[in-house]
Every structure is written in structure tokens, then in C-alpha cells.
Structure 1
Amino acid sequence: MDIVSIIDRIGEGPAAALFGLITGMVFGIAAQRSNFCLRAATVEFARGELGPKVAVWLLTFSTAVVWVQGAELLGLFRSADARLMSVPGSWSGAVIGGLVFGVGMVLARGCSGRLLVLAATGNLRSVMSGLIFAVVAQMSLKGVLAPLRDDLAGLWVTAGGVNVNLLETLHLPNGAGLVFGVAVAILALVLARRARIGARVLLFASGVGFSVALGWVLTWNLAQASFDPVSVTSATFSGPSANTLMYFLDRNSVLEFDVGLVPGVFLGAFLAALVTRELQFQGFEGAAPMRRSMIGAALMGFGAMLAGGCAIGSGVTGASVFAGTAWLALLSMWVGAIFTDFLVDQRASRVLA
């Protein structure tokens, strides 16, 4: 059944939600089985290691780039049509929001995507942190924090009313993005071999990257077949978390890709944990960890909306189409996370020692 037939059978909105559900399930299964997490990678790097966490993140990142750039070369996707690329980007939002998100990610002990995956396995800490993240993201999008976000984002924006494509800005030839992705993938595999990571983990890590490309291709092809405008997007958890929350709170909300994505990730991660018998209820171990996670989740919610995406939305999805602000946000997230780990967790460890 092709996309036109799906639209004719269930409608454009439900089709978009279905594609979000499919993308989310692939992401959830792969992320749960590979333990993919930007926060874990940054902490490992901050402590002078290039071990399994960094290797898994690099493999996910690189395979997303390879799949997305390959799809574009084959005519299955066009990055210029992506929602991220067709609107102005914010350099100031990428820096400030990325730093804030990086701080929150370490405090909450997981990025927003990782919290969603953990919540599906019975981690009640992640359930609460994820809800706080979604609420603050919505407050930053349309609520009381929106004016502050707009002011900070407006300090420095991209010229021309669109985002910056780094490949075009650097005048690189067609295929340069694919070559870059392959090079990073080779580095990831070298690190993975050194860390003795098994083939199963590598397969699922690359599956997370594949889910990003899947989302881009599905929404782009849906946009080509739809009568009404459709946002060309993929995996991210800032806007979708807020939109999914409002879908269940506002009867006027409509089905879209975002609304299917978040339940899809939850369902995929739950099924993966169920099959492998890794479902286990977990809670906070005291007031201090609870406060820390709550603060971290709130910082991530605001930071992600300001940066234009979370660790997945900017760090993998946006970077896979070489959006300039996404790359800057990703760098800022690494910097914020590394300094927070050094100033908070490593310092606490030294005091206890």
C-alpha cells in the first residue's frame, strides 16, 4: 500500500500520526536495546574516556547522517523542505539553550529521549522528570516562558529567513555529507572494537540512527502526496512532548506526526524491555535526587525549546541535515554537560573521597 492509498483510507492527520508511531517504535526498541544516551556519552568523555557510551553515540549519530544523506542522494528526501531548514534559526538560542539543556541533562541523569525510554521500562523517576520536561516545554512554547524564549532567541538569528545548510555554506560537493558520516562511523566502530561492544548493541545503535532517517523520508513523502501542508520532520522530543501532552488535554488538538512519535517510542521501549525481561519499577532514593531531577528536567524543557530541539532533535535529527544552528546547539550541549559533570558530580566524588 502506497502513501496515497493510506491517506485515502485514513486521512492525512491519522497518516502522519501513524508514521510518527512507526518511527517512534523503531527508535524506542533500538534505544532501549543499545542504551543510547547523549548524557552518558558526555559524562564518559568528561572523565577522559572514549569508551562504549561514546562509541554508541557516535555510531547512532553517524548512521543517521549516512542514512539521511543517502536518502537525499537517492531522491527519497530533500533537506531544504525540512521544517527546521525552512524557518529562521537562532544562533543565540542554540548557544544558550544548548548550554541550559546540557546542564539539565546531567542533573536529570538522562536526556529527554532517554527519560522517555526509561519511563517505558518502569522507571518512575523518569516518568516524573518526563512530565516536568513536557510541561516546561509547553510553557516555553506557548505559556509564561514563551516571551523569555522569544527574547533570547531573537538576539541573533540566521539571515535570509531560513536556517543555514553547512554543506551549501562551505560549498561542498554532493555526497560530502555521506562521506563525513561514513568517516565518523568508522571511528565509532574502532572505538566500539576497543571497548569490546557486541554486534547486537552496534546493530541497535545504528537502528536509532535509521529511525531518524525513516522519519524524514516518511514525512517528506507524505508532504508530497498531501493536499494540505505537512511539516517535514523526524525524531525529536521537545515539541512532540508538548504537543502530545496538549493532545490529551485539549479536545481541539489534531493528530499529527508528533502525537504519534512519543507514544511510539514508549511502546517500542516497553515491548523491548518486556521481551528481554528488563521491566522493573524504580523510584527516587531520597529528596535530594528528586530535587536534582526535577530541576534538570525543567532546565531541559526550556533549553530544548530555546535551542530548537533536544539531544535528539538538534543533536542527531537536525545535525543529520547539517542545519547550522543544530550543530551549534549540539556543541553547546556537550559543553554544558561536561562542565556540569565536572563541577557537580566529579567535585562531589572528590569531596567524598
Structure 2
Amino acid sequence: MDILALVERIGESPTAALFGLITGLIFGVSAQRSQFCLRAATVEFAHGKGIVGKLGPKVAVWLLTLSTAIVWVQGAQMLGLFRASDARIMAVPGSWSGAIIGGLMFGAGMVLSRGCSGRLLVLASTGNLRSVVSGLIFAVTAQMSLHGILAPYRDRLASLSITPGGENINLLNALHLPSGTGLVLGLAFAALALYLAARHQIGPKTWIFASGVGFSVAVGWVLTWSLAQIAFDPVPVTSATFSGPSANTLMFFLDRGAVLEFDVGLVPGVVLGAFLAAMISGEFRWQSFESVPVMRKSMIGAVLMGFGAMLAGGCAIGNGVTGGSVFAATAWLALLSMWIGAIATTLVFDRQVNPALAC
């Protein structure tokens, strides 16, 4: 792809939005077909009996996505197609306190709302009205936490403990590990994921599409980094995440002064990709809340996710896959906190949930 020619033809902002659309399409199709969901993986882990039960098919799908993202992103960096130090998540200070508190809140919220923010977007695209309501509440809360009435509280919690030096910490560099360690770790995770996939008889279609979710993360990183190298104005080097983009997309349709950017293309791309995948596979169907208590729990969960994601610096995708693929220290801490928050909430409030019905 001749990015320079594309920029000269349509402009930098539309190009960024187009790259977001491409990333979102790959993510949406892959996530819908693989049923990738961190919430489902944590519920399965919480309810599982023994190591085999805890590392079940949902965990395998999640590991396939994470490992694929790490392998592709680290491989792209070794080939000179991307530089992790330029990523937006690495170029700004990270918050240890935000990663822990926000991650715990997000983990609890995604259990209550029956899906993380990315999963809610995919489900909403397949006719799930519960996810539409929860997703809108998530986006509004995220915007309130970013620029609205909740922003001072987020800033106060995030400022409790900040990474030194005015930027985030690369775990590989901090541990003085040799070049290529990231790729080796990704391959190790992939080997474990494929072993689990074979053990639980997960078909090739599922694990291929699960890998596609991780591949979409690498696509976003490479495209935005390539655009940043030739753009006249600064372009954020980013990839798939759904906290900031959900808020930004909402404001794009509410504020006539908003401009096109990667985020604004990403969310519609996921919606379109998941919708087309559901229609082609015959899985599109209208669904709603089963009861008022379920609706109330989902709405509370969406609020917790919205605030928690902005405090943690990203959602389950933004931290757990996108940030994890560049080994941002706060992203891995937030991911661990999300697992802890989700498992604890499952054990306390969701004892009777069938892991197969987690999403």
C-alpha cells in the first residue's frame, strides 16, 4: 500500500480513519466468529475444577488472541515495520494506581454486564439489544471520565502512583532482556494456546479467527506507525482499544466540530465486520434483557467499565491485547487486575453462571 499517495489523495485524517476502519473490520469479523471474550475466559477460570477445567476452551481462545498479537507485533518491530517506543501508550506516563484500581473496577464491571467493552460492541452488532444499552452507557461514562464530571476523580486516583521519567515502562527493557525475547514469549504463549485448543478439540475455524483478532492489533499498530512517519501533523500511534474510541466516536456524531481520526473509523469498522459475519453465518438475532435485575446489573457493570477503563488507561482489549503486545508495564498490571476483579466478582455475585453462557 502506497500510504503517501493515499494521504495526498484523501488527506491525513481520512487516511487515519480508513486505517481504523480496516483494523475494525478485521477485529469485528474475527471476534464474532471466534467468540473471543475475556469475560468468558475469567468466568471459566473461576468455575473450573482443577487445572484442566480452569484452562478450558474460552481461556484457550483468549490465549490464542494474545499470543498472536504478541508474535505479529514483535515480528513487525524486528522487521522495521513498527517501533514500540513510538506507541501512544509508551510515550505518556503510566499510572500504577490507575492500572490496579481501574483494572479491578473494569474486571468487576465486565462480569456484571456480561462482556467487556469490545465484546459488547460485537454482540450489539449481532442484534443484542442488551449490549447496545450497556455499550452506550459505557461510552457515555468513558466520556464523562475523560472530559466530564468524573474526570477530576479519575485524575486524582491516577496520580497516586505514576511511572517515572514521563513515559511508560517497557517490561522487556526494564528487565534487560535480549532482543527477540518478546517474540519468543509470544511463541511460547502460542504453543500453550494451541495445546489447549487441541486438548479441548477446538476446531481450526475458531482458532484461526481467534488469531485474527490478535492480527488486527498488529495491523493497527503498523498502519498508524507508517502514517505517523510521513504525516505533517502528529498522528497517534495506536491500535485496537474501545474506551477512548467509544467516547470519541460518540462525540464525533454529537459535535459538529469533531474531526476524523483512527478511533472514529475503528468502532464503525468493528460494528460492520461483526454484523456482516453474523449475517453470513446466520447468527444475527434480536435479543434483550431477560429481567429487570439483569438489566440493572448490566447497567451498573457498564458504568464500572467506563470509569475503570479510562482510569486504567484502556479496556480489556486496549490493555490486555494491544498494550500487552508492546509489553507496556501498566497494561500488564491492568490486565492482571482485570482478571482478579472478574474472578472475585464471579465468585461473589455470579456463582450460578454457566461458563458456556458467559457472553
Range into which the TM-score falls when normalised by the shorter chain: over 0.9
Aligned to 2:288: 283
Cα deviation, residue 79, structure 1: 0.3
2:262 corresponding residue in structure 1: 257
SS at structure 2 position matched to 1:72: helix
1:168 partner SS: helix
- In structure 2, what is the equivalent of residue 26 of structure 1? 26
Deviation per CA, 1:12-69: give whole Å up to 9, x if none. Answer: 0000000000000000000000000000001101112211100000000000000000
Q: Secondary structure at the match of 1:163?
A: coil
The residue type equivalent to 1:302 in the other structure is F
Shift of 1:286: 1.2
CA distance in 1 between partners of 2:229 and 2:279 (Å): 37
Q: Whole-Å Cα distance in 2 between the matches of residues 272 and 9 of structure 1?
A: 31
Amino acid at match of 2:27: F
Matched, 1:308 2:313: yes
Shift of 1:278: 0.7
> Aligned Cα RMSD in Å?
0.9
Q: Distance in 2 between matches of 1:5 and 1:116?
A: 33
Paired AA for residue 33 in structure 1: R
Structure 1 residue aligned with 2:202, among 177, 186, 197?
Answer: 197
Equivalent residue for 2:107?
Answer: 102
Q: Residue 82 of structure 1 is aligned with which of 53, 65, 87? A: 87
Letter in 1 for 2:114: R
For 1:3, the equivalent position in structure 2 comes to 3
Q: Which residue of 212, 218, 221 corresponds with 2:223?
A: 218
Matches within 5 A, 1:140-289: 140-289=145-294
C-alpha distance in 2, partners of 1:230/1:22? Answer: 17
1:83-104 CA distance string (max 9 Å, x none): 0000000000000000000000
- Give the CA deviation at 1:344: 0.6
Q: Distance in 1 between matches of 2:330 and 2:233?
A: 28
Q: Distance in 1 between matches of 2:275 and 2:295?
A: 23
Q: Distance in 1 between matches of 2:274 and 2:131?
A: 13
The residue aligned with 2:17 is: 17
Q: Which runs of 5+ in 2 are unaligned?
A: 49-53, 355-359
For residues 132 and 92 of structure 2, what CA distance do their matches in structure 1 show? Answer: 32
Q: In structure 2, what is the Cα distance between the partners aligned to 1:259 and 1:248?
A: 10
* Distance in structure 2 (CA, Å) of the matches to 1:286 and 1:59: 34
Between the two proteins, the alignment pairs up a number of residues equal to 349
**CA–CA distance in structure 2, aligned partners of residues 47 and 119 of structure 1:** 26
What is the CA-CA distance between 1:155 and the residue it aligns to?
0.1
Q: Does 1:67 align with 2:82?
A: no
Q: Distance in 2 between matches of 1:325 and 1:312?
A: 14
In structure 2, give the amino acid aligned to 1:297.
A
Q: How high is the sequence identity, in percent, across the aligned residues? A: 74
Could you tell me which residue of structure 2 aligns to residue 38 of structure 1?
Answer: 38
CA distance in 1, matches of 2:353, 2:55: 22
CA distance in 2, matches of 1:243, 1:347: 36
| Residue aligned with 1:346, SS | coil
Residue 298 of structure 2, aligned match among 290, 293, 299? 293
- 1:299-328 superposed Cα distances (whole Å, 9 cap, x missing partner): 000000000000000000000000000000
* CA deviations over 1:183-228 (Å, ceiling 9, x no partner): 0000001111111000000100000000000000000000001011
The CA distance in 2 between the partners of 1:348 and 1:313, in whole Å, is 26
Which residue identity lines up with residue 4 of structure 1 in the other structure? L
Secondary structure of residue in 1 paired with 2:270: helix
Listed one character per residue, the Cα deviations across residues 214-262 of structure 1 (whole Å, up to 9, x for unaligned) are 0000000000010110000000000000000000000010000000000
Please tell me the residue identity of whatever aligns with 2:335: L
* AA in 2 matched with 1:42: T
What letter matches 2:292 in structure 1?
Answer: A
CA separation of 1:181/1:348 partners in 2, compared to 1, >3 Å: closer, same or farther?
A: closer
User: How far 1:347 moved relative to its partner?
Assistant: 6.7
Task: Report the counterpart of residue 47 of structure 2 in structure 1.
Answer: 47
Distance 2:155 2:226 in 1: 32
When normalised by structure 2's length, the TM-score is: 0.96
Q: Any stretches of 5+ residues in structure 1 without a counterpart?
A: none
Q: 1:345, 1:298 → 2: CA distance?
A: 18
Paired AA for residue 272 in structure 1: A
For 1:119 and 1:240, how far apart are their aligned partners in 2? Answer: 16
Question: What stretches of structure 1 move > 4 A for 4+ residues in a row?
Answer: none
